[in-house]
Structures are given as C-alpha cells and as structure tokens.
C-alpha cells in the first residue's frame, strides 16, 4: 500500500486530496497547523489515515512530522506541498507582515517540505512530489502580488527539482488551478476574481493531483498542469503572445467592475 503525505490537509484542497487518495487505498498523512481539524478528518476516514501538527514554515516540525509518518506508514511515496495562504488587495495597503507571511508559508514551506522529505523519498520504492502552484504564476497579478510571486517561486522550484532529482528517479510536478471554491477566496479583494469567477472545486484539483501521481514517467510528462479551461487557455496563450499583449490582457482582467469582494 503506497502512502501520501499532505501539508495543509485539514480543509479545502488538502482535505479533498486526502479523501480521494484514501478511497484509492493509500495510507494518508493529514498534517496541518490546525491539528484538531486534521484529527477529525483522519478519524472520519479510518485506520489508514494519520493526522499530525505541521507549521510548514518550521523546518524542525517538517522533520518530526515526516519521520513520524514514515514510521507509521512504512515509507513515503507521495509528498503534496499544499499548504498556502492568500492576501488580496492593493500592494501598499497590505501590511508588510502579511507579504512576509505569504513568502514564509507559500515558498519557504515548499522548500522546507522538499528538503526535509528527500532522504525519505529516496528510500521509497516509488516517489513523486506534487506542488500546488497556481494560474497566478502565469503572469504577475495585481492585487495579488505577493501571492502571485510565491506561486512563481513554486513553479521555479518544481522545474528545477524536476530536473535535479531525475538522478533519484523522483519527478517533481505541480498543478496550476485558477480560483477554487475554498475558504481562501472568501472576501477576496481582486478584480481578476470578479471578472473570471470561481469555477473549480477542491475535488477538481484533487482529481488532477491523483492523475499526476498515476501518470507514467516519460520525456513528455509535463512538469506543469493547468487545471480548468480558463487556466489552460491562459497558460497556452502566455507562451505564444508577446509580453505587451500578456500585460494588456492581465490589466483588463484585473480591472474592477465594482468595489465588491467575493463572499
């Protein structure tokens, strides 16, 4: 029985991923800063689920959580770096501490997870890493600057490690959804979400993560996988359009219709 370790797994995309992989007979690690909610989910799923505490910005907590899970599961086959936060609104009106926290969790959290997990992944019979990037990593997003920057970093981490860890037989892939119906987008203050809407569910993303894990490794296995029609179109167009058109398109998409927020 293979195992999967998921950060930020107590709710949203992480919880949907935990449920889906449990249904496919994986041993599931549900690790989150909200340990109580993680424990509740593990109890709901059954004996092949284990919950624990994890602040992804804390490297020592990563080491403890991964070693704890490996001891319980036997080996770690899949690492999903899912934990993340989002602050929206005008850059200068967002407290600098919020920008720093975005980097601490969304970027340092992924670096910590990959670095701490590698010795354990190398011991596994099969290993793969799936990082949660975003369609916000296609082009820098106004009103989401630090979040967008953090997801560009995740995209770069995935690309670099996917090449570097080839020597270990470990693929490092990412998924790039647009906006997803989770608590993260509530009260979101950005023109892009007003204009494009929210069309993806956590289950949509979980199913793509499962496909990424099941995908056979080949020269043509993509490192990045956009999720949903909108994200796929944006990703494709960004590759073939000149920079000024990409900038113009993103400027139009970010133009606010009203001052309302997404509830």
Task: Please state, in angstroms and rounded to a whole number, the distance separating the CA atoms of residues 4 and 172.
Answer: 14
**Proportion of the chain above pLDDT 70, given as a percent:** 79
Residue 263 has pLDDT above 50, yes or no: no
**Proportion of the chain above pLDDT 90, given as a percent:** 67
- Model confidence, pTM: 0.87
Question: What is the CB neighbour count within 10 angstroms for residue 203?
Answer: 15
CATH top class, domain 3-253 = alpha beta
Check residue 46 and report its DSSP letter: -
Task: Please state, in angstroms and rounded to a whole number, the distance separating the CA atoms of residues 235 and 135.
Answer: 8
Give the residue among 85, 66, 111, 83 at the shortest CA–CA distance from 17. Answer: 83
Q: What is the pLDDT of residue 192?
A: 56
Better-predicted residue by pLDDT, 259 or 27: 27
- Asked whether 69 and 31 are in contact (CB, 8 A), the reply is yes
Task: Please state, in angstroms and rounded to a whole number, the distance separating the CA atoms of residues 250 and 263.
Answer: 23
Q: Which residues contact 117 (CB under 8 A, 6 or more apart)?
A: 5, 62, 66, 76, 79, 129
- Asked whether 164 and 240 are in contact (CB, 8 A), the reply is no
Task: Please state, in angstroms and rounded to a whole number, the distance separating the CA atoms of residues 66 and 79.
Answer: 10
| 28 exposure class (CB count in 10 Å sphere: 0-12, 13-18, 19+) | buried
| R_g of the chain, CA atoms, integer Å | 18
Q: Which of 38-47, 178-187, 202-211 has the lowest mean pLDDT?
A: 178-187
pLDDT tens per residue across span 65-114:
999 999 999 999 999 999 999 998 889 999 999 999 999 999 999 999 99
């Amino acid at each position: 029985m293979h195992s999967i370790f998921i950060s930020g797994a107590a709710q949203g995309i992480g919880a949907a991923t935990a449920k889906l992989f449990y249904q496919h007979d994986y041993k599931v690690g549900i690790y989150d800063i909200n340990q109580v909610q993680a424990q509740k989910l593990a109890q709901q799923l059954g004996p092949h689920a284990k919950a624990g505490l994890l602040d992804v910005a804390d490297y020592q907590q990563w080491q403890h959580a991964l070693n704890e899970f490996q001891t319980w599961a036997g080996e770690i086959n899949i690492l999903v770096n899912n934990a993340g936060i989002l602050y929206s609104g005008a850059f200068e009106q967002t407290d600098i501490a919020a920008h720093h926290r975005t980097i601490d969790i969304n970027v340092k959290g992924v670096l910590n997870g990959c670095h701490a997990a590698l010795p354990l992944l190398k011991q596994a019979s099969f290993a793969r890493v799936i990082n949660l990037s975003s369609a916000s990593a296609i082009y820098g997003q106004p009103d989401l600057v630090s979040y967008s920057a953090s997801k560009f970093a995740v995209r770069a981490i995935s690309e670099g490690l996917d090449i570097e860890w080839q020597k270990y037989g470990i693929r490092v892939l990412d998924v790039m959804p647009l906006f997803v119906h989770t608590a993260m987008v509530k009260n979101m203050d950005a023109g892009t979400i007003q204009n494009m809407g929210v069309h993806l569910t956590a289950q949509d993303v979980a199913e793509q993560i499962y496909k990424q894990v099941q995908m056979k490794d080949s020269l043509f296995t993509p490192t990045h996988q956009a999720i949903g029609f909108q994200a796929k179109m944006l990703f494709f167009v960004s590759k073939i359009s000149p920079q000024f058109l990409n900038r113009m398109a993103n400027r139009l998409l970010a133009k606010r219709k009203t001052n309302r927020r997404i509830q």
